[in-house]
Chains A and B, each alone.
Chain A
Amino acid sequence: MKRILLTMAILMVTVTMVFAAGVPETQKSAAGPTVIRWAYWGSGERVTISQQAIDLYQSRNPGVVINPEVSGGAGDHFVKVDTQLAGGNGPDIIQMGGNIYDYAKVLLPLDAYAGSELNTAVIDPSAIASGTIEGKLLGVSTGVTMPALVFNKSLIERSGAPQPKLSMTYAEFRDYLVLLKSKLPKGVYPMQDIGVMSTNSTPFGYWARFNGTPLYTAATASTGVSAEAAQKYLELFQDYRANGLIPPAEIASGFAESNADSSALIAGKAAIAFLYTNQLGGYQAATTDELRLMEFPGAAATKALWQAPSQFYTVNKDSKNAKETIKFINFLVNDPDAAKILGSNRGASASSSARASGASSPADQRVLDYMQVAGPHSSLETDHVPNDTEFNSTLFLIYQRVAFGQVTPVQGGKQINELLLRMIAK
């Protein structure tokens, strides 16, 4: 019996000691400065520059402490933020991507602060519009990004083929791909299979706009893409595939195309690929070849390109320091010194006051050059398809089925149309 009591005693002591051991840091600053929690995703360079921006702000605003909560990738970031929100402990600033629509109900509308804490006058109207959902300003754009095709200038040079024109029609584009194929070595394809990628169906969205039949119109809750239209898209890529202009399904699916590490272009397997302009810096850093941007075919005639907000700064509805948080966001977005530090890491700035500080790297400059040309070939962004993660994932599955020959483009087209209707109805 004594032994048992001894055990219990040891147990109790140990447990108490452990409790005493870990004093949470946040508790220490209870009565002190205002603490703002900024949750974002990123790595390496982004973390360094964000910290520099934080230090600058803190030096100008004593009494405010900003705690960065960084996750390596967007996936981790959202799982963590979701869990924290569900536990009632969400951060003050939440970095958002295109999925801002899904979070509309938990974000603080910023309209009340526009003009005072948040200087919206110097921000491009299109950027403001992209962050406005159901009439409320829910997110401040961190910068602008555009869809683009990226090509490996060095690789094309080595093959002896001419460099591509910046703007082409679909016919010219196909001819160019055929020309590339004749010059490129075996095992290297003119273009990666960008029809639909594992996390991205932007080219499909582009093509829908190019034909004047947008993927989704929120006002009427309908899609302009019919089964026949989807079928034509599948046939377009099937034609490319049959002629060796894009790799066969087996090889294409070895590259997830979500970033430089899973890119066929960087691996030297394709000369042309897809990316968003704010990714150029990252891609260029992953290779010694020179990368350049060109437009999607047919953009000049139809203005089917668009400028998308790269990311958003949003405020948690339950934030305890809304005013201070918004002031910091204003600093990040509009202050020229902050812009110099942050560069276009989160998108090319949409604020005229920030742009005054100029481009911060050669890759940045190329992005700005591209936007000079592509900007006028753009129009207002299409509404996002509801449940877009599921939409992307299932669309990719259907696309692969066609690519691997399990399903015909006719059936594929029907399935895509059904999918769209189902996602809208959900």
Chain B
Amino acid sequence: MTRKRLLQENLTSYAFLTPWLIGFFALTLYPMFYSLYLSFTQFNIRQPPQWVGLRNYIVMFTGSEQFPRDERFFNSLLVTFKFVFTSVPLKLLFALAVAMLMNKKLKLIGMYRALYYIPTLLGGSVAIAVLWRRIFAGDGLLNLILERLFHLTDLPAWISNPKYSLSTLILLAVWQFGSPMIIFLAGLQQIPKEYYEASSVDGAGKVRQFIWITLPSLSPIIFFNLVMQMISAFQSFTQAFIVSNGSGGPLDSTMFYSLYLYIKGFGFSEMGYAAAMAWVLLIIIAAITAIFFKSSGSLISYGSGE
């Protein structure tokens, strides 16, 4: 490549990138730096921020004489980790399974797809919270079914019992698998029919086709869904907020990290601490994502291109 070509390549590329660059510098970078600055301050929103150095971080991790450690912080981290590592794999499993079911030219397939997308459509509406409580309350639908059909007794009140409340939220997240499902569907659509036809001729059964054609072709999409679902699960807020009525559930059992951040920032008016929490989360997510990217190299096939 000549120098002139190289320059032109770069210019072209940056021309494509211009909108994103403008957005990044004007709308994203400043807020990020501002929040980093806030993390070293005490800011109750109604008065200017006051610099306190590392205090917020100390309170989160070790505590000191004057400022005892915040035990609710570690609890929220634990709750969130449990949530992420249980709900994400389950959600993706369902999403892929159902996407494969939906990848057909059946007559009413559009309607079926819509059906499975409904839970996601209801999203974080208050209606969902009401519904979930109806189903998982001590005298809710689930217990009704368990008692009548299976004659079980002494059933817990799932949604208001600290041992089980998190599970109801995990279930809610998995039930709303619509988004990754649609993305898997889009990915499945892009796999050329010829691959399947050719392998059928060669005598390959459905399972072999799945392992040797579907999975590899879908791998960039699986990677995408894995990373994105993980990132968004760590930041999960709305469902925990509405189901627990903003409290973090019985005994902080549904106190997701983002919920605690919100309560600290806007509820207790400790915006500086909330900013510190935000940056800690960013570092955790970035580290895990980096590990994913690094280890994905050998597993993902990007077609005949790269």
Interface residues of A (CB under 8 A from B): 1, 4, 7-8, 11, 75, 78-79, 82-83, 85-86, 102-103, 105-106, 187, 198-199, 249-254, 256, 258, 261-262, 387, 389-390, 393, 396-397, 400-401, 404, 406
Contacts and interface: CB of A to CB of B under 8 A. Distances in A.
Given A250-B138, A254-B160, A406 B251 contact: yes
Interface residues of B, number: 34
Contacts of B45: 82-83, 85-86
A250 B157 contact: yes
Given A198-B247, A250-B157, A396-B247, A82 B138 contact: no
Given A199-B247, A262-B245, A389-B268, 16 more contacts: A4-B12, A4-B15, A8-B18, A11-B19, A75-B246, A78-B266, A82-B46, A82-B266, A82-B269, A85-B46, A86-B45, A102-B46, A198-B245, A253-B250, A254-B138, A389-B267
Contacts of B269: 82, 102, 389
B250 A105 contact: no
B268 A251 contact: no
Contacts of A401: 251
B64 interface: no
B160 A250 contact: yes
A400 B250 contact: yes
Interface in B1-20: 8, 11-12, 15-16, 18-19
Interface in B138-176: 138-139, 156-157, 159-162
B300 interface: no
Nearest to A396: B247
B91 interface: no
A221 B15 CA distance: 63
B169 to A, nearest CB: 14
A382 B160 CA distance: 33
Contacts of A7: 15-16
B9 to A, nearest CB: 12
B263 A393 contact: yes
Nearest to B255: A397
Contact of B245 (A78, A252, A256): A256
25 contacts: A1-B8, A7-B15, A7-B16, A11-B19, A78-B266, A79-B266, A82-B269, A85-B46, A103-B46, A105-B47, A198-B245, A198-B246, A198-B247, A250-B157, A251-B138, A252-B160, A253-B160, A253-B250, A254-B138, A254-B160, A261-B130, A389-B268, A397-B72, A400-B251, A404-B162
A169 B15 CA distance: 79
B267 A393 contact: yes
Contact of B157 (A78, A82, A251): A251
A331 to B, nearest CB: 28
Contacts of A199: 246-247
A7, A75, A249, A254, most chain B CB atoms within 10 A = A254
A389 B11 CA distance: 54
Nearest to A391: B268
Nearest to B15: A4
Contacts of B161: 250, 253
Nearest to B66: A425
A251 B143 CA distance: 13
Contact of B160 (A4, A251, A261, A390): A251
A187 B250 contact: no
Contacts of A85: 45-46
B250 A258 contact: no
A8 B15 contact: yes
A82 B15 CA distance: 39
Contacts of B252: 397
The 3 tightest CB contacts between A and B, nearest first, are A254-B160, A256-B245, A253-B250
A212 B18 CA distance: 69
B38 to A, nearest CB: 11
B137 interface: yes
A254 B266 contact: no
Contacts of B266: 78-79, 82
B157 A254 contact: yes
Contact of B251 (A103, A256, A397): A397
B139, B247, B263, most chain A CB atoms within 10 A = B247
Interface string B21-60: 0000000000000000000000011110000000000000
Contacts of A404: 162, 250-251
Nearest to B157: A250
Contacts of B18: 8, 11
A75 B16 CA distance: 42
Contacts of B130: 261
Contacts of A393: 247, 263, 267-268
B144 to A, nearest CB: 13
Contacts of B16: 7
A8, A251, A252, A258, most chain B CB atoms within 10 A = A251
A76 B159 CA distance: 25
Contacts of B268: 387, 389-390, 393
A347 B44 CA distance: 29
A75 B242 CA distance: 12
B247 A256 contact: yes
B36 to A, nearest CB: 17
Contacts of B267: 389-390, 393
A393 B267 CA distance: 10
Contacts of A4: 11-12, 15
